[in-house]
Chains A and B, each alone.
Chain A
Amino acid sequence: MDLINFEATELRLGLPGSTDEQPEIKSTPSPVKTNKRSSSKMDSSVPDEQDSSRSPPAKTQVVGWPPVRSYRKNILQGKKSEPESGSGMYVKVSMDGAPYLRKVDLKVYKGYGELMKGLQEMFKCIVGLYSEMEGYKSEYAPTYEDKDGDWMLVGDVPWDMFLTSCTRLRIMKSCDVIES
């Protein structure tokens, strides 16, 4: 009875999506388990500092080595997998006067209209609709920082181009927006 409970509830701490069955052996075909293992020198690829490849292929990962507790290992693996989950396109959004920043996933929006609605909801402010002729008719204007580091008014370029160039958003008070 205990065995069944054990297996059902035996889950190591791990972030969602990270499997931690036997992290130490997942990259090796057969975890070396013979008694003679200790006498054979581990296949150690030369720890060349110039070698920037993340996992030297020649090195076998040994069960339970180095002796780092599962919890700590999971934290590290969690951190590593974060940048790899490239499904979202998160950029930071700040709003003048708000105590903290937010993050939005631009991929969720199909165009500027939806983005504005989303920002409005997020900051409960009237961001206003944009028209090329008149600029923003509200207290606030959304701006974004592009890949060159310049601050631009949101809405000038086609949405797709905006998606590829926007690195962060800032909702400025309209009076602060400098008309060029």
Chain B
Amino acid sequence: MDPAAAGVEFIGTGADPTRSSTLPEEFLKRTFSLISSEKDRSSVSLVCKDWYNAERLSRRHVTIRNCYSVSPEMVAARFPAIRSVTLKGKPRFSDFNLVPDGWGADVQSWLNVFATAYPFLEELRLKRMAVTDESLEFIALNFDGFKALSLLSCDGFSTLGLEAIATHCKNLTELDIQENGIDDLGGDWLSYFPENLTSLEVLNFSTLTSEVSFDDLESLVSRCKSLRVLKVNQKINLHQLQKLLVLAPQLTELGTGTFMEELVSGSVNDLENTFSKCGNMHTLSGFWDATLLHLPVIYPVCGNLTFLNLSYANIGDVELEQILSRSKQLIRLWVVDTVGDKGLEAVGSHCQLLEELRVFPVDPFDQQIGVTESGLLAVSIGCPKLHYILYFCQRMTNAAVITVAQNCPDFTHFRLCIMSPHEPDYLTNEPMDEAFGAIVKTCTNLRRLSVSGLLTDLAFEYVGKYAKNLETLSVAFAGTSDMGMEYVMRGCPKLKRVEIRDCPFGDSALLSGLTQYESMRSLWMSDCNLTMNGCKKLAEEMGRLNVEVIKDKDDDVSLASKVYVYRTVAGPRKDAPHFVVTL
């Protein structure tokens, strides 16, 4: 029985909701332990005091999306039985070098608390956190039953830290190292996995650069019979991949190494044959330097693929068509714009089930045309289920996007990046206001929006008027006045994260969001028109916000060129470096 419904029933009988429930706590805890959705858990905890307690005592996983919004002590005090933590730190724009080194988000202060509060911690997933080798060693030594480590977009550590994890975590099931600022000192770390470690289920070292010992990798794959996700790096060649796949046909997700090697035809058949035995494989990635010479080896598994990540393979439309014509079950596809509009036409004609498409630029700084509005149109026509798009292009038109919105009204994530700042509709030379207007008007479920191109305040007026479910908004080089931002802050009630750069929004725009900021996770504004006085005013009005200014030594003292505002119950940061001023 749905516990929330039980609560409603209970209250409906006229019982006083503030009185203790007569359901025993153990019953509640057992029932709540079946609830994994965080949203549901949040709702459950609000029903009454007993439910709040039962929920917090039964919770095993917690996600903290801003490590400064709460202190580790508070988390430990509320949730004593946690086994799995997801922790996110720096603002997203740190991925693009907008946040200086040493800003913070150090995981060690969390680890110190977890060591005492959660000695049985099993899983740690970190995103945009500062992680040192010492911290990795700390994890390895302080949590006996530690199972799963995932590091995404973190920095500050080296492969030495990975050595510690490999050496000491006897029950390791998952090691997932992705796109980190890691100091790759060599591939020895892999050889530190002891001979008797057989528990590995997930191993992803695709973004590390050094060569690992192939013999040790082979031995590891061979003895870890539950391995289901293996993503190797570029240094592993096809010949070696063949050997690994023979040992692990049960893999569900594979990240290949380089395709650059030339195999004489006998070996190509072998590899194709080996792939044909991988009946559970649904996700493929890697493909560095892939060409039509060896891409066919994957054809046997294409029919089962639901996620294909070709974003490191600079292939063209011919290669893509060959693959897609065999991959009709695809739900998610990531490609590079070398596939061109023709390649996207192939997407439209073969991938009827496609829900997510990401098109990355092969060279963000080259003027060569990769994909254009016609590629986007083709996909929108052929893929009616599309709800997630990330699209990098040099040019776009309002007309195309308006049509796209009509073809795909179910967009939840629309991230369009026209790569030249202030780029207008290339046919009409008008701003791109109508394009985004159409998206927010038609796609009522829109949760995430990234805008680009030449935009006036009108675009934001549309957003404020129609994007009622919008949670994440990214804006760059857009808008004409404070009104732009004000429209959004006043009009979008569900905003959680707003990141703005290089827009003419000033103090009054910042202050227009006063009522919103406490229900939002964070606001980032860089290179706008904010002043220290404006930020101070915001800080004064809103006690439970941290208003942080990142000072640049070249800055005018009265200006606030980088501002990060976030709600917190932990008060001002105690670890702020000298260049972060909390107002």
Q: B499 — nearest CB in chain A belongs to which residue?
A: A67
Majority DSSP secondary structure for residues of B touching A? loop
- Is A42 a contact of B422 with CB atoms below 8 Å? yes
Q: Cβ of B394: which chain A residues have Cβ within 8 Å of it?
A: 47
CA distance A161 to B422 in the complex (A): 54
Which residues from 148 to 165 on chain B have a C-beta closer than 8 Å to any C-beta of chain A? Answer: 153, 155-158
Q: Cβ of A67: which chain B residues have Cβ within 8 Å of it?
A: 93, 95-96, 417, 474, 476
- Is B477 a contact of A38 with CB atoms below 8 Å? yes
- Is B419 a contact of A66 with CB atoms below 8 Å? yes
Q: Cβ of B98: which chain A residues have Cβ within 8 Å of it?
A: 63-64
Q: Cβ of B24: which chain A residues have Cβ within 8 Å of it?
A: none
CA distance A137 to B577 in the complex (A): 74
- Is A6 a contact of B102 with CB atoms below 8 Å? yes
- Is A70 a contact of B95 with CB atoms below 8 Å? yes
Q: B555 — nearest CB in chain A belongs to which residue?
A: A33
Check B367 for interface membership: any CB of A closer than 8 A: yes
Task: Tell me the minimal C-beta distance from B510 to chain A in angstroms.
Answer: 13
Which residues from 338 to 372 on chain B have a C-beta closer than 8 Å to any C-beta of chain A? Answer: 360-367, 369
Task: Tell me the minimal C-beta distance from B13 to chain A in angstroms.
Answer: 54
Q: B208 — nearest CB in chain A belongs to which residue?
A: A13
- Is A98 a contact of B264 with CB atoms below 8 Å? yes
Given A7-B102, A99-B263, A100-B262, does the pair A65, B504 have CB atoms closer than 8 Å?
Answer: no
- Is B266 a contact of A99 with CB atoms below 8 Å? yes
Of B138-146, B179-187, B429-437, the one contacting chain A is B179-187
CA distance A56 to B365 in the complex (A): 9
- Is B157 a contact of A99 with CB atoms below 8 Å? no
Given A71-B179, A100-B267, does the pair A66, B101 have CB atoms closer than 8 Å?
Answer: no
Task: Tell me the minimal C-beta distance from A154 to chain B in angstroms.
Answer: 20
Chain B: how many interface residues by the 8 Å CB criterion?
Answer: 71
CA distance A5 to B157 in the complex (A): 9
CA distance A96 to B554 in the complex (A): 64
CA distance A15 to B155 in the complex (A): 17
Of A72-80, A124-132, A172-180, the one contacting chain B is A72-80
Given A5-B132, A9-B132, A64-B93, does the pair A44, B504 have CB atoms closer than 8 Å?
Answer: no
Which residues from 230 to 269 on chain B have a C-beta closer than 8 Å to any C-beta of chain A? Answer: 239, 261-264, 266-267
A38 partner, pick from B101, B153, B369, B527, beta carbons under 8 A: B527
Which residues from 408 to 446 on chain B have a C-beta closer than 8 Å to any C-beta of chain A? Answer: 417, 419-423
- Is B421 a contact of A65 with CB atoms below 8 Å? yes
- Is A10 a contact of B392 with CB atoms below 8 Å? no
B362 partner, pick from A2, A70, A76, beta carbons under 8 A: A76
Check B312 for interface membership: any CB of A closer than 8 A: yes
CA distance A56 to B420 in the complex (A): 12
B527 partner, pick from A33, A42, A45, A47, beta carbons under 8 A: A33
Q: Cβ of A160: which chain B residues have Cβ within 8 Å of it?
A: none
CA distance A24 to B501 in the complex (A): 16
CA distance A68 to B362 in the complex (A): 10
- Is B262 a contact of A64 with CB atoms below 8 Å? no
Q: Cβ of A100: which chain B residues have Cβ within 8 Å of it?
A: 239, 261-264, 267
Q: Cβ of A92: which chain B residues have Cβ within 8 Å of it?
A: 262
Chain A 42-61, CB within 8 Å of chain B: the 1/0 string?
10110111010011100101
Check A12 for interface membership: any CB of B closer than 8 A: yes
Check A62 for interface membership: any CB of B closer than 8 A: yes
Majority DSSP secondary structure for residues of A touching B? loop
- Is A70 a contact of B209 with CB atoms below 8 Å? no
Check A3 for interface membership: any CB of B closer than 8 A: yes
Task: Tell me the minimal C-beta distance from A91 to chain B in angstroms.
Answer: 13
Q: Cβ of A44: which chain B residues have Cβ within 8 Å of it?
A: 420-423
Q: Cβ of B395: which chain A residues have Cβ within 8 Å of it?
A: 47
Task: Tell me the minimal C-beta distance from A60 to chain B in angstroms.
Answer: 10
A11 partner, pick from B133, B181, B528, beta carbons under 8 A: B181
Q: Cβ of B153: which chain A residues have Cβ within 8 Å of it?
A: 69
Given A63-B97, A66-B392, does the pair A35, B209 have CB atoms closer than 8 Å?
Answer: no
Given A13-B207, A24-B97, does the pair A65, B314 have CB atoms closer than 8 Å?
Answer: no
- Is A35 a contact of B362 with CB atoms below 8 Å? no
Q: Cβ of A108: which chain B residues have Cβ within 8 Å of it?
A: none
- Is B361 a contact of A66 with CB atoms below 8 Å? yes
B130 partner, pick from A6, A36, A39, A101, beta carbons under 8 A: A6
- Is B130 a contact of A2 with CB atoms below 8 Å? yes
Q: Cβ of B503: which chain A residues have Cβ within 8 Å of it?
A: 38
Check B9 for interface membership: any CB of A closer than 8 A: no
Q: Cβ of A7: which chain B residues have Cβ within 8 Å of it?
A: 101-102
Task: Tell me the minimal C-beta distance from B334 to chain A in angstroms.
Answer: 11
Check A110 for interface membership: any CB of B closer than 8 A: no
- Is B420 a contact of A42 with CB atoms below 8 Å? yes
CA distance A113 to B261 in the complex (A): 27
CA distance A13 to B181 in the complex (A): 6
- Is A11 a contact of B422 with CB atoms below 8 Å? no
Task: Tell me the minimal C-beta distance from B480 to chain A in angstroms.
Answer: 9
CA distance A63 to B179 in the complex (A): 19
Q: Cβ of B392: which chain A residues have Cβ within 8 Å of it?
A: 66, 68
Q: A21 — nearest CB in chain B belongs to which residue?
A: B97
Check B398 for interface membership: any CB of A closer than 8 A: no
Q: Cβ of A39: which chain B residues have Cβ within 8 Å of it?
A: 504
Q: Cβ of A34: which chain B residues have Cβ within 8 Å of it?
A: 527
Given A47-B367, A69-B153, A98-B264, does the pair A42, B97 have CB atoms closer than 8 Å?
Answer: no
Check B106 for interface membership: any CB of A closer than 8 A: yes
- Is B422 a contact of A41 with CB atoms below 8 Å? yes
Check A94 for interface membership: any CB of B closer than 8 A: yes
B421 partner, pick from A42, A48, A68, beta carbons under 8 A: A42
Chain B residues with a Cβ under 8 A of chain A: 93, 95-98, 101-102, 106, 130, 132-133, 153, 155-158, 179-184, 207, 209, 239, 261-264, 266-267, 311-312, 314, 360-367, 369, 392, 394-395, 417, 419-423, 474, 476-477, 501-504, 527-530, 552, 554-556, 559, 561, 575, 577
Can you pick out 25 interface pairs between chain A and chain B where the beta carbons lie within 8 Å of each other?
Answer: A5-B156, A9-B133, A11-B181, A13-B181, A13-B184, A14-B209, A22-B97, A24-B97, A34-B527, A35-B559, A37-B527, A45-B367, A47-B367, A55-B365, A56-B367, A63-B98, A64-B97, A64-B501, A70-B179, A76-B362, A76-B364, A94-B264, A98-B264, A99-B239, A100-B261
Pick the 7 closest A-B CB pairs, nearest first. A64-B96, A71-B179, A38-B502, A101-B262, A3-B102, A66-B364, A66-B419
Q: Assuming A9-B183, A35-B527, A42-B420, what are 12 further A-B pairs, CB within 8 angstroms?
A: A11-B183, A14-B209, A33-B555, A33-B561, A35-B529, A38-B504, A39-B504, A45-B367, A65-B421, A68-B360, A69-B179, A94-B262
